[in-house]
A and B are shown apart, each in its own frame.
Chain A
Amino acid sequence: MGNELAGIATTGEARMNAFLDVCFWMLVTVIAVLVVYTVRHYIFTVNRLFGRQRHPYVDVSVARWPAVTVLIPAHNEELVIGHILDALLAGDYPHESLTIVPVNDRSTDGTREVIDDYASRYPTLIVPMHRTEGASGKAAALREASEHTSGEIIIVFDADYVPGAGLLRQLVAPFFDPQVGAVMGRVVPLNAGTNLLTRMLDLERSAGYQVDQQARMNMRLVPQYGGTVGGVRSSALASVGGWRTDTLTEDTDLTYRLLLGGWEVVYQNRSECYEEVPEQWPVRIRQISRWSAGHNQAFRDHSGAVLRGDMRGFRQRLDALLLLGVYVVAPLTLLGWLLALTLWYGGHSVSGWIAILLVASFSTVGNFAAFFEVAAAARLDGHNRRVRLLPFLLLGFLVSQMAVVRSMFTFKRRKNGSNGVPLVQWDKTQRYRGMEFGVQLTTNSSSQYTKHSS
């Protein structure tokens, strides 16, 4: 009897040890993936800080400019739509080659009236489109509007953006390269200093564009078209099947379809444009949830094609894959954390000084790469002192992690509506800007010379 009990205990012990071993190797795998992303962060940052910077098209300031259609999808944007129309009208893109199409999609506020007022004053430049039927959402609005445009190039701005006078030319310049299918500019938070959240988002945006996107441009990898402050060549769009309306992030989806179709996506760090970032945490959570759900959808849709080698070059393929998987890192981290907790409870120990060093190294150096990137970006922006907020980003990361993990479940359910029809609707970020901003914009755009600027 005693022997039997001892045998059962030994078997249980063996099973437990086998289970812990499995957990251990799963943890090793998770850490290996995270290490890859850490190295990626580090390489990008070092490249951006010290490497040769590529911005080949930014000097093109004089040329015979192609016909451009600017699409501004708008849903209940009465507070801001006038500002972007004013800004575009004040731009230096030749008006004979420019058509501005505000796409009002079922707005229930005064958006329609504002747009119609502008259209009546600038009938040759502003050609509004009011949607009252068909699929809802930004992608659907873009799809329908694109079908009715004749411009060689389509530039897209969200309604809360405020393009500078020279921005359109800068964004169109890369399209002189016949291989370029899409262009992305840099997004700069206008309400950066409102509260701690906006300050953190300002740092994150800075890292994302100033370092991440530019490094990918430098290294000829995969800069991402972000759906606003950017554009796409009409023929390229048509060749890959147009905007998809059944995706939450039509921009990421389009990036990959263009790449797989042999087009290039380029990033212009100099082409900066103000946007508004969320000022409240719930708004931020909704935003990042939508991004991650859409991104993960793109991962499912395109990772196979990327792996099969439908793109040129190993490095580009690897980067494309890592970019697709960027929102998988959050659940992986959570998984790693749970595995570590399980192993710890199980008393599984990889003993020895080396193991201790490895754990400590990963906790420090591994975690540090992202902070290195953020700090480097802010320094390059010349805003050193805001880097001191770095430790607060830990809280931001925690919220993002949770939001991303949660979105894996909630958005899946939303996408599949009760009748099986894809349910992608307007999920826009709340606007904070008041009407008075228009006055401020007009004042700023009249440049005043000071002798000291030369």
Chain B
Amino acid sequence: MTAVIAPILLILVTVGWFVLALFPALYEHFARTDVGPLRVASAATDIRYFGTSFQGFVTTQLELLRARAQNTVPRVTSLADGSGVWYAPAPDVESSVAIVFSGAAQHDIARGLVVMSESSLRVPDQAEVLKELYTGGSLETGSGCIFRAILAREDAALGPACEVLRWVNTGGAFSAGMESVLWGRASSWGSMSLSEGVRFQRIAAPRIELGWPQRELKRDMKERPLMVAPAHVTISASRWMVNGDLDVPAGQSITADVIVSGKLRVGRDAAILGGVRCDVLVAHEDSIFMRSVIATGRMVFGARCHVTGPVVVEGEVVLGDDCRVGDGESQTTISAVTVRAGNGVVICGEVWARQQGVVRALPSQITQTSSAA
């Protein structure tokens, strides 16, 4: 009897012990706890996504809040989901401005009240609003304020040393005072103006002005003599291919795409009409790039350079004073790990500083910095 049972038991125990290890796999196979496809976003990614979708949310909530409002006095109430909101109804006098915290203690708002105002809003110095803030009019803040997120239907002006933790979107002009910090996304349907010392990550507007008041600069499209390809340049499929470095002499131009495995130095007032790809770019003052500029390392533009196409850098990009990137007719994108922009820089489109961008006065001779790049 044992001679029969023992081997059967051995088989059962061995196979059973083996299958025990497979239990998590078999369970997942039969229970099917994780079978869905990855969720692929069908909507386009837009920097204003949070702003526009929050607007939709606000619209539904405002109807409820308006229905509940008995007078025009701001008060603390609740949203449809029960969360707290500081709500300022439309005032009797159209031009009046509501002041956050009238009717609520500062720490209540900082602790977790959404702020919604039907009309323009003013936020006093050092205020903290750690939930979303919405204003149907414009927004004006004092200094040292901290916000989680801001949606303003009209203009918004942040005072000095303010901080936005997640996003800000304005229907009108947006400005940030000196030494403010814009984490996440800042976008405006109007113009954007960031004072010196402002730090940012992702910003977008039809026209972004950085630092001191901008001057009107015309791109000089005069005819420049064509550069003769040096011996180490290979021309292939209308591209200049360079294994090593390339210097474009001052005042000359190249019409082809330029691909340089090393450093590309572009002399003063030179122009490249094709796209550029290099490791390091050093562009001296007044140089012009009519298409995209891509670098795997670093990019330094001297004062008053013009770039029309996208600027993509896998490291740092330095924009000298009064540089112009994109224009009113064709907005463009700057993408870099860090962005350092001098005063008077104007960018039309979007800037994505993956770590951080900063508006900071640059040394007067930016080309000296360039040579060290």
Instruction: Tell me, yes or no, whether A and B come into direct contact in the complex with CB atoms closer than 8 A.
Output: yes
CB distance from B317 to the nearest CB of A (A): 12
Residue A421 CB within 8 A of the other chain: no
Q: Which residues of A contact B44 (CB under 8 A)?
A: 91-92, 164-166, 169
Please measure, in the bound complex, the distance between the C-alpha atom of A444 and the C-alpha atom of B42, giving whole angstroms: 7
Please measure, in the bound complex, the distance between the C-alpha atom of A385 and the C-alpha atom of B332, giving whole angstroms: 42
Residue B365 CB within 8 A of the other chain: no
Chain B 230-241 near chain A by CB (<8 Å), digits 1 or 0 = 000000111101
Binds B, one of A183-191, A299-307, A357-365, A427-435: A183-191
Residues facing B in A351-402 (CB within 8 A) are 381, 383-386, 388-392
Please measure, in the bound complex, the distance between the C-alpha atom of A5 and the C-alpha atom of B263, giving whole angstroms: 78
| Highest count of chain B CB atoms <10 Å: which of A273, A384, A386 | A386
Binds A, one of B2-10, B24-32, B86-94, B95-103: B24-32
Contact of B37 among A202, A441, A454 (CB under 8 A): A202
Cβ of A176 and Cβ of B40 under 8 Å apart?
Answer: no
Residue A196 CB within 8 A of the other chain: yes
Please measure, in the bound complex, the distance between the C-alpha atom of A202 and the C-alpha atom of B38, giving whole angstroms: 9
Please measure, in the bound complex, the distance between the C-alpha atom of A261 and the C-alpha atom of B241, giving whole angstroms: 11
Cβ of B34 and Cβ of A383 under 8 Å apart?
Answer: yes
CB distance from B23 to the nearest CB of A (A): 9
Cβ of B43 and Cβ of A445 under 8 Å apart?
Answer: yes
Residue B257 CB within 8 A of the other chain: yes
Cβ of A178 and Cβ of B28 under 8 Å apart?
Answer: no
Please measure, in the bound complex, the distance between the C-alpha atom of A274 and the C-alpha atom of B310, giving whole angstroms: 28
Binds A, one of B50-58, B138-146, B188-196: B50-58
Residues facing B in A221-246 (CB within 8 A) are 235-236, 238-239
Q: Which residues of B contact A391 (CB under 8 A)?
A: 22, 25
Contact of A179 among B25, B35, B277 (CB under 8 A): B277
Residue B82 CB within 8 A of the other chain: no
Chain A interface: which size bin? Answer: 35 or more
Contact of A57 among B38, B50, B312 (CB under 8 A): B312
Cβ of A64 and Cβ of B330 under 8 Å apart?
Answer: yes
**Known contacts A60-B312, A176-B310, A392-B29: A188-B40 contact under CB 8 Å:** yes
| Highest count of chain B CB atoms <10 Å: which of A193, A199, A447 | A447
Please measure, in the bound complex, the distance between the C-alpha atom of A370 and the C-alpha atom of B352, giving whole angstroms: 36
Please measure, in the bound complex, the distance between the C-alpha atom of A389 and the C-alpha atom of B258, giving whole angstroms: 49
Number of interface residues of B (CB under 8 A): 65
Contact of B42 among A235, A384, A445 (CB under 8 A): A445
Q: Which residues of B contact A389 (CB under 8 A)?
A: 25, 28-29
Residue B149 CB within 8 A of the other chain: yes
| Highest count of chain A CB atoms <10 Å: which of B27, B42, B291, B331 | B42
CB distance from A51 to the nearest CB of B (A): 14
Cβ of A59 and Cβ of B335 under 8 Å apart?
Answer: yes
Cβ of B335 and Cβ of A178 under 8 Å apart?
Answer: no
Q: Which residues of B contact A193 (CB under 8 A)?
A: 32, 35-37
Residue B276 CB within 8 A of the other chain: yes
Cβ of B45 and Cβ of A166 under 8 Å apart?
Answer: yes
Residue A148 CB within 8 A of the other chain: no
Q: Which residues of A contact B274 (CB under 8 A)?
A: 178
Residues facing B in A410-454 (CB within 8 A) are 441, 444-445, 447, 449-451, 453-454
Cβ of B277 and Cβ of A178 under 8 Å apart?
Answer: yes
Q: Which residues of B contact A59 (CB under 8 A)?
A: 312, 333, 335, 350, 352, 354
**Known contacts A92-B44, A178-B258, A449-B54: A56-B35 contact under CB 8 Å:** no
Cβ of B34 and Cβ of A385 under 8 Å apart?
Answer: yes
Residue B152 CB within 8 A of the other chain: no
Please measure, in the bound complex, the distance between the C-alpha atom of A199 and the C-alpha atom of B41, giving whole angstroms: 21
Residue A177 CB within 8 A of the other chain: yes
Cβ of B40 and Cβ of A63 under 8 Å apart?
Answer: no
CB distance from B30 to the nearest CB of A (A): 10
Residue B357 CB within 8 A of the other chain: no
Residue B270 CB within 8 A of the other chain: no
Residue A272 CB within 8 A of the other chain: yes
Contact of A199 among B35, B237, B292, B310 (CB under 8 A): B35
Residues facing A in B281-306 (CB within 8 A) are 291-292, 294, 296
Cβ of B45 and Cβ of A63 under 8 Å apart?
Answer: no
CB distance from B208 to the nearest CB of A (A): 11
Residue A192 CB within 8 A of the other chain: yes
Cβ of A178 and Cβ of B259 under 8 Å apart?
Answer: yes
Residues facing B in A107-129 (CB within 8 A) are none
Closest B residue by C-beta to A444: B42
Please measure, in the bound complex, the distance between the C-alpha atom of A98 and the C-alpha atom of B261, giving whole angstroms: 32
Beyond contacts A169-B44, A176-B294, A389-B29: 16 other A-B pairs, Cβ-Cβ < 8 A, are: A56-B294, A57-B312, A62-B204, A63-B309, A63-B333, A64-B330, A91-B44, A165-B43, A192-B38, A272-B38, A312-B243, A383-B34, A385-B28, A449-B56, A454-B149, A454-B166
Between-chain CB contacts (< 8 Å), 12 pairs: A59-B333, A61-B333, A64-B332, A164-B40, A178-B277, A193-B35, A193-B36, A261-B237, A262-B241, A312-B243, A383-B38, A449-B53
8 cross-chain pairs, A with B, having the tightest CB-CB distances, nearest first: A193-B35, A166-B44, A449-B53, A178-B257, A59-B335, A385-B34, A178-B275, A176-B292
By a beta-carbon cutoff of 8 Å, the part of chain A in contact with chain B is 54, 56-57, 59-64, 91-92, 164-166, 169, 173, 176-179, 188-193, 196, 199, 202, 235-236, 238-239, 261-262, 272-274, 312, 381, 383-386, 388-392, 441, 444-445, 447, 449-451, 453-454
